[in-house]
Amino acid sequence: QVQVVESGGGLVQTGGSLRLSCEASGSIFSIVTMGWYRQAPGKQRELVATITIGGSTNYADSVKGRFTIPGINAKNTVYLQMDSLKPEDTAVYYCHVLEKSRYNRLTNYWGQGTQVTVSS
Give the per-residue pLDDT at 74: 87
For 65-99, b where at least 16 C-beta lie within 10 A, e where not — what string? Answer: eebbbeebeeebbbbbebeebeeebbbbbbbbbbb
Number of Cβ atoms within 10 Å of the Cβ of 24? 22
Q: Are 93 and 37 in contact (CB under 8 A)?
A: yes
pLDDT at 19 > cutoff 90: yes
CB 80 within 8 A of CB 49: yes
pLDDT, average across residues 4-26: 97
**Mean confidence (pLDDT) of the chain:** 96
Taking only the tens place, the pLDDT of each residue in 50-96 is 999 999 999 999 999 999 999 898 899 999 999 999 999 999 999 99
Mean pLDDT along residues 5-32 = 96
pLDDT for the residue 23: 97
Confidence (pLDDT) at 3: 96
